[in-house]
A and B are shown apart, each in its own frame.
Chain A
């Protein structure tokens, strides 16, 4: 299998062979996924939510890091495409016994896998797997370290498009722990590819990577300033373990200055929508009244997530 070393996600026809990151993907492929997902969204509204596309294909959910939610949405998506789904929670201890990621993958590939959905705590792990699997196997990154979570980024784009239609007029704010967030990286890359003219990140300096401007964003440390006149507010999850180190003083202080509350949301445009990748920490990054409020599209995000994953899997398996 010839894969472009500069962009190992694409095959020689420039088609998507693996989905590892949104970084470096041509906008046409992003649009193709979003358009296809729109059709799948229709399927998910039907009585029979299943199509026969991936009949006979084996999709392996390969989770080196536990995540019930993401694994479940991939599983539902694969099943709605009529694929056989095998869930594998890789015991981290078997890894420490000397079995490497590649050993595990080689074993599974021998079980006639067609697709690997990979979640790993280390940035770049799906690249390593993609580089070493047999050419007919497709790899989907379901979140790797701080690097990327492309299907989450795509479903967020699908959600924004659903409510706002056009990216070229949007002002979007991403709020919270950008530094450790694979979601934020994928969102930023997708928004820039799709032509969003103004992407803001709002966070204290300890939760921003250095050179974050090089990703093409405007930096705000003051949330009220950053939310002014935005069309979309994308909240990030603040992992509990971040509270233990010296990144932040306390959950209370974080909520006071960077938590999304109704009065802060009033600074955004009146029709602004609020996204969150879940699971939410109510009272830490988002107030319940906002999470459950009129402007929240957090539940539709989950539904759209299935359509996006169906689109990604069906495009990959067909290429």
Chain B
């Protein structure tokens, strides 16, 4: 366990809202990545007062670790309730790590149409990128050991918090 405690998720979210507000127009489509990213996208959507409904992606069908670990149990349904074509999009994820999930999400988005732009918002950037991907907005940059992962949790009152967990096998985040 690192000495420093993890930052408070709710505070990070507020910071993210503040950074995004001036740069995100009302036509922007928010797309959360299952599961934590979807919670965040819903909160951001409300806070930013966007008109376009929120989208959700489960990138299981696009992951590059399928060959190694197979199809994820409990694949959620991707749901993009707006026309992607020509629209500015913001991908929302809880933890940005290797960048592989974002790669998969972008591939999936392009199967819905050709967006005008895609930007990325992440609550936590823990470094360790394996692909040329960077976020426009980050709540905080945090360092954790390679054997650990950061997980976003949501309690029954929908309050968000961060927690550390032991990674059993290397996966992408």
Contact = CB atoms under 8 A, between A and B. Distances in A.
Given A38-B77, A39-B77, A47 B111 contact: yes
A43 B108 CA distance: 10
B80 to A, nearest CB: 8
A48 B60 contact: no
Contacts of B108: 51
Nearest to B65: A318
B132 interface: no
B107 A43 contact: no
B62 A314 contact: no
Interface size grouping (class) on chain A: 20 to 34
B75 A35 contact: yes
B112 interface: yes
B4 interface: no
Interface string A307-319: 0000000110111
Nearest to B69: A318
Interface string A1-23: 00000000000000100000000
A98 interface: no
B75 A39 contact: yes
B78 A42 contact: yes
B62 A36 contact: no
A314 B111 contact: no
A318 B78 contact: no
A315 to B, nearest CB: 5
A135 to B, nearest CB: 15
B168 to A, nearest CB: 15
B75 A51 contact: no
A112 B58 CA distance: 31
A53 B112 contact: no
Contacts of A36: 71, 75
Chain B residues touching A, majority SS: loop
Interface string B92-127: 000000000000000110111100000000000000
Nearest to A41: B77
Contacts of B73: 32
B112 A39 contact: no
Contacts of B66: 53, 314, 318
B111 A39 contact: no
B86 to A, nearest CB: 13
A50 interface: yes
Contacts of B74: 32, 35
B69 A39 contact: no
Nearest to A314: B71
A60 B42 CA distance: 43
B111 A50 contact: yes
Interface in B57-95: 58, 60-62, 66, 69-71, 73-79
Interface string A262-294: 000000000000000000000000000000000
Given A39-B61, A48-B110, 12 more contacts: A32-B73, A35-B75, A38-B77, A41-B77, A42-B79, A46-B111, A47-B111, A47-B112, A48-B112, A51-B111, A53-B71, A314-B71
Interface of A: 15, 32, 35-36, 38-43, 46-48, 50-53, 314-315, 317-319
12 contacts: A32-B73, A36-B75, A39-B60, A39-B75, A42-B77, A42-B79, A43-B61, A46-B112, A48-B111, A52-B61, A314-B71, A318-B71
